[in-house]
């Protein structure tokens, strides 16, 4: 067949409600490139501008950084771009929501893998009142929300676009350095991206992923089945009230969950984690804490708090200001460590110049009662 | 930071510039830039298809235009520039509108 005839048979672009796949992909790739420029050019330039303008004798705070940059044109464009590149990723003609919506029937038809949903689950007010990540409808309202989230997460870290899964594998490998888990509970598992690496590093373990979002859980079950991972199951539940048995797990994990929770809910999740862990069991959370980073100065905290506002993440700053070790000690955890986490090689170098999330591992072990400790 | 000009019930977008007009104008610029990249991508895909079908001479396409070709496109180019830049003159196109 003449390729030209084939091409002319394609639907006219620009006239339909949704953009053709090529146009969608080109627009999304453009946004990733723009975000990469923001990450590698605008961010270092802004840091340089701040360093030149700051009072070197004064103690810097996020508030003093804000005052220093109050009239900075570069900061305004930096902030604008962070907000609007994310908005364009999800919304508008070439946004993820419109594109996935155009494929609704075929996508929904793939969500057939079994998953334990709870129609009576009362979604918390904090969860339903904000569309996190600027994802219209949030990660829970639309049946396609899991697909939108999955596609969106591929470019969350623009320098690693397309291979964002690396950091989940690194996290699972780090956990596996500490223990050989037999039972794992992954809190706020989303579409299972955080859960699947644990299925791989602990192939003999029983692994359960829980989340509030039914659309994400359905996709998690499908992707787990597609990957041939038979040791994971997914269930709709609140991480603060898991309905698991006391001491049921020897590992509890979460990835990018804590910063989505208000402090009272964080406390409930930590209490619940302590309850469902067996004595001597481990808890690992991967989240964002700027202060523990090699470049965790006032500028980094100012940027992180601004990111929280611009990305519709109201609890990111409260998490960064919590004293988590004190909470964990009060709950009877020991061997508590809060450590910066390298999502890629070289990012923890003191002079690493580009914007990055302040990835942090929070790890703690549930104490073994003294009468249960093995005698030497 | 909010812009209170949004309709009731609709959340106001965050504002980053001293004048929210610039926030909105830059949104238009980025939308146009996205559209431009979509178009560039499509032209490149068209060229690849035509080349595979033996209907495109890439060397001729990429060559510097001849004086004759430049002359042929001059009228279109200048009309485009006039269209693009005449708003900078700040002139009314019709009579009688209060300035």
pLDDT in tens, A81-130: 999 999 999 999 999 999 999 999 999 999 999 999 999 999 999 999 99
Question: Beta-strand (E) ranges in A132-265?
Answer: 183-187, 206-211, 232-236, 249-255
Minimal Cα–Cα distance from B62 to chain A, Å?
Answer: 22
User: At the topology level of CATH, where does A158-372 sit?
Assistant: Rossmann fold (3.40.50)
pLDDT value of position A159? 72
Backbone angles phi, psi at B10, to 5 degrees: -100, 130
Q: Which of A73-77, A338-342, B10-14 has the least mean pLDDT?
A: B10-14
Count Cα neighbours of A339 within 13 Å in the Cβ-side half-sphere: 12
Does residue B86 carry a pLDDT above 50?
A: yes
Residue A22: Cβ within 10 Å count: 14
Indicate yes or no: CB of B14 within 8 angstroms of CB of A94. Answer: no
- Compute the average pLDDT of residues A139-146: 96
β-strand A249-255 against A232-236: which pairing, if any? unpaired
Angstrom distance (rounded) from CA A270 to CA A207: 19
Contact list in B for residue A30 (CB cut-off 8 A) is 33-34, 37-38
- Chain B residues with CB-CB distance to A11 below 8 A: none
Question: Which residues of chain A neighbour B53 with C-beta distances below 8 Å?
Answer: 2-4
| pLDDT tens digit sequence for A275-305 | 999 999 999 999 999 999 999 999 999 999 9
Sort out which chain A residues have CB atoms less than 8 A from B50's CB and list them: 4
Is B7 or A14 the better-scoring residue by pLDDT? B7
Q: Hey, is A175 helix, strand or coil?
A: helix
- Say what the pLDDT of residue A9 is: 34
Average pLDDT over residues A43-55: 96
Residue A116 pairs in a beta bridge with A235
Measured in angstroms, the CA of A93 and the nearest CA of chain B are apart by 10
Q: Residue A72: which of A31, A43, A39, A36 has the closest Cα?
A: A43
pLDDT band at A369 (very low <50, low <70, confident <90, very high): confident
What pLDDT shows up at residue B5?
Answer: 54
> Average model confidence (pLDDT) for chain B?
86
Higher pLDDT, A194 or B80: A194
Query: Closest Cα of chain B to A76: distance in Å?
Result: 5
Residues of chain A neighbouring B23 (CB-CB closer than 8 A) = 80
The answer to whether the Cβ–Cβ distance between A4 and B52 falls below 8 Å is no
CB atoms within 10 A of CB B56: 15
| Cross-chain Cβ contact B55/A88 below 8 Å | no
Rounded distance, CA A22 to CA A20, Å?
A: 6
Contact A22 B55 (CB under 8 A): no
Task: Give me Rg for the CA atoms of chain A.
Answer: 22
**Low-confidence winner among A162-171, A233-242, A303-312, A314-323 (lowest mean pLDDT):** A162-171
Nearest neighbour of A80 by CB, restricted to B23, B37, B40:
B23
Q: Which of A1-10, A220-229, A281-290 has the lowest mean pLDDT?
A: A1-10
Domain spans of chain A, in order of start: 158-372
**Distinct helix (H) and strand (E) counts, chain B:** 3, 0
Contact A22 B23 (CB under 8 A): no
A80: chain B residues, CB-CB within 8 Å: 16-17, 23, 26
Cα–Cα distance measured from residue A130 to residue A68, given in angstroms and rounded to the nearest whole number: 30
The least confident of A15-19, A134-138, A164-168, B55-59 is A15-19
Distance of CA A34 to the CA centre of its chain: 21
| A86: nearest Cα among A312, A306, A303, A289 | A312
Which of B15, B22, B27, B30 is the best substitution to test chain A (most A C-beta atoms within 10 A)? B30
* Cβ-proximal residues to B74 (8 Å cutoff; 6+ apart), any chain: none
Element holding A138 (H helix, E strand): none
């Amino acid at each position: 067949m003449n390729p030209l005839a084939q091409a002319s048979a394609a639907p006219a672009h620009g006239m339909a409600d949704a953009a053709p796949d090529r146009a969608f992909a080109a627009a999304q790739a453009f946004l990733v490139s723009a975000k990469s420029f923001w990450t590698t050019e605008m961010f270092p330039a802004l840091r340089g501008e701040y360093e030149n303008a700051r009072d070197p004798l004064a103690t810097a705070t996020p508030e003093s950084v804000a005052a220093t940059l109050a009239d900075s044109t570069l900061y305004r464009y930096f902030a604008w771009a962070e907000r609007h590149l994310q908005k364009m990723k999800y919304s508008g003609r070439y946004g993820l929501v419109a594109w996935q919506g155009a494929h609704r029937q075929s996508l929904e038809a793939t969500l057939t893998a079994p998953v334990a949903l709870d129609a009576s689950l009362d979604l918390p007010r904090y969860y339903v009142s904000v569309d996190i990540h600027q994802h219209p409808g949030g990660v829970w309202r639309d049946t396609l929300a899991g697909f939108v989230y999955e596609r969106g997460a591929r470019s969350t870290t623009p320098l690693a676009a397309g291979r964002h899964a690396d950091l989940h594998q690194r996290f699972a490998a780090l956990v596996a350095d500490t223990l050989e888990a037999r039972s794992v509970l992954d809190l706020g598992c989303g579409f299972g991206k955080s859960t699947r690496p644990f299925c791989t590093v602990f192939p003999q373990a029983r692994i359960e992923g829980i989340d509030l979002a039914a659309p994400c859980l359905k996709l998690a079950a499908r992707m787990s089945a597609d990957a041939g991972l038979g040791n994971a199951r997914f269930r709709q539940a609140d991480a603060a009230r898991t309905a698991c048995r006391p001491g049921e797990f020897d590992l509890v994990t979460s990835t990018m969950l804590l910063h989505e929770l208000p402090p009272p809910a964080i406390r409930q999740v930590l209490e619940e984690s302590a309850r469902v862990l067996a004595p001597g069991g481990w808890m690992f959370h991967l989240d964002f804490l700027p202060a523990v980073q090699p470049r965790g100065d006032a500028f980094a905290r100012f940027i992180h708090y601004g990111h929280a506002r611009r990305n519709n993440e109201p609890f990111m700053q409260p998490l960064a200001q919590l004293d988590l070790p004190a909470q964990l000690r009060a709950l009877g955890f020991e061997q508590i460590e809060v450590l910066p986490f390298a999502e890629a090689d070289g990012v923890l170098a003191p002079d690493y110049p580009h914007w990055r999330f302040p990835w942090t591992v929070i790890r703690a072990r549930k104490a073994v009662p003294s009468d249960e400790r093995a005698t030497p | 930071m909010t812009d209170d000009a949004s309709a009731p019930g609709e959340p106001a977008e965050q504002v980053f510039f001293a004048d929210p007009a610039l926030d909105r104008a830059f949104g238009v610029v980025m939308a146009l830039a996205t559209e431009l990249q979509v178009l560039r991508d499509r032209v490149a895909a068209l060229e690849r298809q035509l080349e595979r079908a033996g209907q495109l001479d890439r060397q001729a396409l990429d060559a510097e235009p001849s004086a004759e070709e430049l002359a042929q496109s001059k009228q279109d180019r200048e009309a485009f520039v006039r269209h693009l830049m005449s708003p900078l003159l700040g002139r009314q196109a019709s009579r009688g509108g209060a300035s």
